[in-house]
Amino acid sequence: MKVICVAQQKGGAGKTTIVSNLAVAYLAEGKRVALLDTDPQGSLGRWMDIREETFGEDDMLHFATATAYGISRAIRSIRKDADVVLIDTPPKVDSDVRWILKEADLVLVPVSASKADVWATNDVLDLAERAGTATRIVLNRTRAGTRVGDDVAQSVAELGARTLDATLSHRVIYAEALGHGIGVLEAKRSATVSDEVRALAGAVSAELDG
């Protein structure tokens, strides 16, 4: 069983988007997925509610809320039902978050195309390093060839953290899918977007297995 945590102090960077889309990608690979939401805002729970209203319950997909302090117990209690555990986190990085980072095999840090996201990233990188957990930055809302995109990529490179080659582009379908309780893979609207989500899931698996 692998534990992936998505963390970033900046709200709106794409944590819940990445968790929900990775969940659907791993389900499509036949994996059993457990979601743990530690964000009191509960966006992932809302996504899950809508999903269950639409498709009914799914034996392959479990959901629970957890506190940062209770994360270890929460992981233990779902251990036998999951191949992949995905942990969503609140938009703050404080000492509590360390409990979560410590339990993860990999921490994904979304950075969307804004300098503010880059500035917000140092704390989580520091905390994860102290917890001894590997981190990878995931560039989100990328727009090929735009100047702010190049600028952000440059600043991210200066953070000294490793960045996944796989990125998510800026597409309305991500927002729509989140609101409909699905992943963009299930929306089947754009092969390009589906490909980038599968590529992200593959890149994350490669980091975990490598």
Rounded to a whole number of angstroms, the minimum distance from the CB of residue 150 to Mg ion is: 27
Q: Does residue 178 touch ligand ADP according to CB under 6 A?
A: yes
Q: Which residue from 32, 62, 136, 141 is in contact with ligand ADP, where contact means CB under 6 A? A: 141
- Distance, in Å, from the CA atom of 43 to the CA atom of 155, rounded to the nearest integer, reads 29
Q: Does residue 43 touch Mg ion according to CB under 5 A?
A: yes
Segment interacting with ligand ADP, rule: CB under 6 A, options 59-67, 168-176, 180-188, 196-204: 168-176
CA dihedral 140, 144, 145, 148 (to 10 degrees): -20
Q: Does residue 10 touch Mg ion according to CB under 5 A?
A: no
Q: How many CB atoms lie within 10 A of CB 203?
A: 17
Distance of CA 182 to the CA centre of its chain: 15
Question: Which residues, 6+ apart, have CB-to-CB distance to 156 below 8 Å?
Answer: 111, 118, 121, 137, 139, 163
Rounded to a whole number of angstroms, the minimum distance from the CB of residue 153 to ligand ADP is: 15
CA angle 151, 155, 160 (to 5 degrees): 150
Q: Which residue from 11, 126, 143, 190 is in contact with ligand ADP, where contact means CB under 6 A? A: 11
Segment interacting with ligand ADP, rule: CB under 6 A, options 53-61, 129-137, 154-162, 163-171: 163-171
Site residues (CB under 6 A) for ligand ADP? 8, 11-17, 43, 91, 140-141, 168, 170-171, 174-175, 178
